[in-house]
Structure 1
Amino acid sequence: MARSLARSGAFSSLYVMYGSAAAFLATLLVSNGVGEAGAGAFFQVMAFFAIATSLCVFGADTGLVRTMSAQRAVGRYSSLPQLMRFAFGPATVIALVLAVAALLWALPAVTPKLGADVRAAVLVSAPFVVVAAWMTLCFGALRGLGHTVEFTFLQSALLPTLRIGAVLLAVAFSGAIAYLALAWAVPLLVVFVVAALWVRKYMPQQEDVPSYPARHLAVEQVPPTAVAAPESARSFWAFSSARGVSAMVEAVLEWVDVLLIGLFLGPAASGIYGAVNRCVRVGAMVEHTARVVTGPDISAAIATGDQPRARQIFVSATRILIAVGWPFFITLAAFGPVLLGFFGEGFTAGAPLFFIIGAAMLVQMAAGGVQSVLLMSGRARWQLYNKLAALLVALVLNLALIPLWGLAGAATAWAAAVLTDCGLATAQVYGKLGIRPRLTEVLPIMALAALTPGAGAAAIITLWGQSFVALAVYALLLVPLYLALIYRFRRAVGLEALVASITRKLRR
């Protein structure tokens, strides 16, 4: 039997928390080692690499999650290797073409005015775009096979740990952008090898089940009309290509402001904004984790017509997003100067941006895992249109506001893009798909997640000001208090029902 959502969620959450801390530490190492300008150049190299990887995979990783989960749910195991071939062939071709194009672009004869550091960074990292594509596809296969724990271990534990060690060596011995780019890329090869071995290990070997009983869900028999249809290369890429454009748009959305700030305001401003970006992305990983953990189960539930099960998963994920995400972003806004001070003295100028971006992130967390529902229900094109609308908002506002407001303009554009994407997805999932929580199911956890850190931060800052001591007192007092309050009101916030569900699953 596949791992339960509960067990996967517990372990995956631990790995993601570690991965977020590791990514934060890697950013600290870079910013303290090379300063604002060096960090800005490094963030821009990261941006180009992230966008290139999204282009290579072109949504096939999410296609594997959806199709492998659905085919497993109906017992059609023989189709799984074929789905892998559907994904790897085109993705490899795109990756090779892009890697060669990047190498040619970095030649002195083609781009004579390109900086030496950036040129070297592109030359050393371009070949790893192929490895990154393969690794990402293996990640999708692991998720589709139901092994989200292994996936999150690789993505959120092994990969960032290797990168921390490599970045530390690069900063200690050189600090050149090329060495930092290489330190960021080489660990991909190690993680890909491990991921490929695990995919081979966990690939089902049993024969297909002709009647397609619901082997992975809590229902006895699947109605014939609800059974997921077999996948062809055309149907696989019809979904994945739409998701591929969405993934590219997501990557551009994540990094476009960093690139435009570097263009308009210079690398130092880009470094400051990049540090803010990385801090916010730590909290955004909560939503990503919910998508990873719940995606296969939502896909399987929808594939077999189990709408109540899909809604149950969604409501549980929404509560977790609020319980974890809201205190995090409130803390960022309250202690922004202290937190950015860890990156270096010049980075504290970005602290006010947390209020702008954090407000939008609170709304996104409250909406729940709407992106996962859209993807796993086959509405990739809906998500594509949402992302394109958000990208248009981001581009227009960044170009208009960065010259006028500087970093605050970029933060405003980011917040507007988040609200555009989230608002459209929420309307579609709540209204058109009919999967939504009742207000009474989320209001108690909203109250606890907002009032506890908000009131606590206000009181502590009043007494100790913006200082490391205040942050330490806040962490030592508020974290246990918040956990105690959640336990005290566990029935109202849905924790009791969630724990009971987890217990039942773990006993199966």
Structure 2
Amino acid sequence: MTAVATPVREERGLGRRSLLSFAGSATSALLGFLLVVVLARFLGDADSGIVLQAIAVFMIALGFARFGMDSTAVWLLPRLADDEPQQLRATAWFLIAVSGVAGSLCAVVVWIGAGIAAQGNPADPLPPVVRVSAVFLPIAAMLLTALAVSRALGRIAEYVLIGGIGLPAARLLAVLAAVLLGAALSGVMLAWALPAAIALALALVVVARQLRGLGASAGARFFGTELPTRTLGFAGPRVISAALEQMLLWISVLVVGAVAGAAAAGVYGAASRFVAAGMIVDSAIRVVFAPVFSRMQHRGAEGEVRELHRTATSWLVLFSAPVFLLLAIFAPVALSVLGPDFTSGAATLAVMCVGALVAFLAGNVQTILLTAGRSGLAAINKAVVVAVNVALIPPFVAMWGIVGAAWAWTIACVIDAVLAWCEIRFLLRVRIAPDAGLAALVACVGSVGLPAVIARTVIGPSLTGLLVAAAIGLVLFAAVCRLGRIPLRLVGFTPPAPRPPEHRRPGQHSRRSARPAHHTQKSGTP
């Protein structure tokens, strides 16, 4: 199949939805950062390290608790909307229910495990905090699956408002209230976990309304068809893959805590939260593009997948690189916001920023792999990179401290991206471009990175230097985006040109209105 460029009209639709998703991801990242600030300022490095380790355990367990149902929703529901729309209602509720059952089982396992750990070391403050969070695993699993169902069915606003803004805001306010009231660490954890119950109730209402709006049939038969087997067949490997993804994000905090102590885990965890905040563009693009990739691959539109990957990669690098460059160059300034105890993680933050940028050059390759139905390959990839990460952290920390843990994480992330890219190129035989993000990276280094280096050299690693670098970089970045909007694939963010008015005699009908609209390509995006 020859390459078919994504139509500008469709790309504009993706651009608008990406901006909305980015706004939600940016708000979520900001609120998450403020949460880390609250923990660091009120609890200090050691106690905040305990809470962050408990959150790490919760997030890793949540990878199992979802049972792959959120990813299955994004993969399966757009295909059913094309082929079997009468099955949407039954399939959506099946996915949410399975994640609730799996989450309950995981909650029992985590509760028992924390109890065993407490018996082995009664003085350890971590197990009681973990036990508090375990109760909310089924709620969080159903919440993530319900939100995934919502966006798979074409809605982004509700996903953003509930998952990207409402839940992080409620958590921040609840934790702030807990620490101001002098709550114990278990109380702080309860305050963090409890808002998920309210978010779940709202998400279920949204899904029910969406299904009614789509006219999804309530009487369609689900069990006794191939859908349960198809669903669980995709989800099985995805359970392992999702859990390993969370381990890649969070296990470093646990291993650093075990090797170097709770204070080191607090510093490393704070640095990693800055990097997570810088990944908001990746999250925003994945939310919007994943269902589109799934539909295109289902229709065999390889050319469109290739072009969409180019666009997504260019946007990913272009809008995330400025954040990572500023964080890396002014790492001491960023971490000083948390307190003087955290500035020791400056080199750690810089290394992780560079690692994230290199991995982003491959684009959303993991998303393409999953939406192609290759959840098994994704699981194998995650197993490899988590094994590499866990194996490298102890010797690297012994040699270089928590900077060594950052290098281990960076190596693992790059391996993850390279494996997925090679599998798409050589196993799926989709000829995605290896240089899709290079132009965007060069643009960002020239417009943001170079002025930031000059500002740090001349003014120093201070808040003034950071503000000057950000101001100059913003102006130059905007100019580069304007001048290079075509090679940077930014046409999707520009408003459509107004049509000239049609001049016709009274009573004469427009030719355009007399003909049915037609599309520029057979397989348009949703």
Shift of 1:305: 2.0
Asked whether the 8 Å contact 2:448–2:470 carries over to 1, the reply is: no
1:346 to 341, 344, 350: 341
2:232 to 234, 237, 248: 237
1:15 matches 2:24: yes
Match of 1:275 in 2: 270
1:30 to 35, 39, 44: 39
Q: 1:38-95 CA distances to partner (integer Å, 9 max, x unpaired)?
A: 1111110001110111111121111011111111133x22211222344244433322
The TM-score with structure 1 as length reference comes to 0.89
Q: 1:138-169 CA distances to partner (integer Å, 9 max, x unpaired)?
A: 01211221113321222211111111111111
Letter in 2 for 1:198: V
Letter in 1 for 2:365: V
C-alpha spacing 1:493/1:5, structure 2 compared with 1 (3 Å) = closer
C-alpha spacing 1:277/1:497, structure 2 compared with 1 (3 Å) = closer
2:148 to 140, 145, 151: 140
Larger mean CA deviation between 493-502 and 307-316 belongs to 493-502
Letter in 2 for 1:192: L
1:312 matches 2:303: no
Letter in 2 for 1:389: V
Q: 1:250-274 CA distances to partner (integer Å, 9 max, x unpaired)?
A: 1111111110111111110000000
1:373 to 368, 372, 390: 368
1:176 matches 2:176: no
Structural mapping, 1:488-507, within 5 Å: 488-496=483-491, 499=494
C-alpha distance in 2 between matches for 1:247 and 1:345:
35
Unaligned segments of structure 2, at least 5 residues: 1-9, 218-224, 499-518, 521-525
Find the structure with the greater CA-based Rg: 2
2:48 to 39, 60, 78: 39
Larger mean CA deviation between 94-103 and 326-335 belongs to 94-103
SS in structure 2 of the partner of residue 352 of structure 1: helix
The TM-score with structure 2 as length reference comes to 0.86
C-alpha spacing 1:248/1:498, structure 2 compared with 1 (3 Å) = same
C-alpha spacing 1:122/1:498, structure 2 compared with 1 (3 Å) = closer
SS in structure 2 of the partner of residue 53 of structure 1: helix
C-alpha distance in 1 between matches for 2:346 and 2:283:
24
Asked whether the 8 Å contact 1:353–1:408 carries over to 2, the reply is: yes
Asked whether the 8 Å contact 1:286–1:325 carries over to 2, the reply is: yes
Asked whether the 8 Å contact 1:246–1:388 carries over to 2, the reply is: yes
Shift of 1:307: 2.2
Asked whether the 8 Å contact 1:117–1:178 carries over to 2, the reply is: no
Larger mean CA deviation between 495-504 and 457-466 belongs to 495-504
Match of 1:401 in 2: 396
Match of 1:69 in 2: 78
C-alpha distance in 2 between matches for 1:83 and 1:301:
21
Q: 1:215-268 CA distances to partner (integer Å, 9 max, x unpaired)?
A: xxxxxxxxxxxxxxx852111111111111100001111111110111111110
Letter in 2 for 1:10: L
C-alpha distance in 1 between matches for 2:497 and 2:276:
28
Asked whether the 8 Å contact 1:34–1:175 carries over to 2, the reply is: no
Q: 1:102-128 CA distances to partner (integer Å, 9 max, x unpaired)?
A: 334455897262347434423432211
1:256 to 251, 255, 268: 251
Larger mean CA deviation between 439-448 and 333-342 belongs to 439-448
C-alpha distance in 1 between matches for 2:487 and 2:310:
14
C-alpha spacing 1:437/1:302, structure 2 compared with 1 (3 Å) = closer
1:162 matches 2:177: no
C-alpha spacing 1:482/1:110, structure 2 compared with 1 (3 Å) = closer
Match of 2:411 in 1: 416
1:94 matches 2:102: yes
Unaligned segments of structure 1, at least 5 residues: 209-229
C-alpha distance in 2 between matches for 1:194 and 1:409:
42
C-alpha distance in 2 between matches for 1:10 and 1:292:
11
Larger mean CA deviation between 306-315 and 64-73 belongs to 306-315
SS in structure 1 of the partner of residue 119 of structure 2: coil
C-alpha spacing 1:435/1:407, structure 2 compared with 1 (3 Å) = same
C-alpha spacing 1:81/1:488, structure 2 compared with 1 (3 Å) = same
C-alpha distance in 2 between matches for 1:120 and 1:416:
33
Structural mapping, 1:422-433, within 5 Å: 422-433=417-428
2:66 to 57, 81, 88: 57
C-alpha distance in 1 between matches for 2:117 and 2:39:
31
SS in structure 1 of the partner of residue 445 of structure 2: helix
Query: What is the RMSD of the two structures over their aligned residues, measured on CA atoms?
Result: 2.6
1:481 matches 2:484: no
1:459 to 449, 454, 461: 454
Q: 1:418-465 CA distances to partner (integer Å, 9 max, x unpaired)?
A: 011011011122333344555776443221112222211111112210
1:111 matches 2:111: no
C-alpha spacing 1:501/1:41, structure 2 compared with 1 (3 Å) = farther
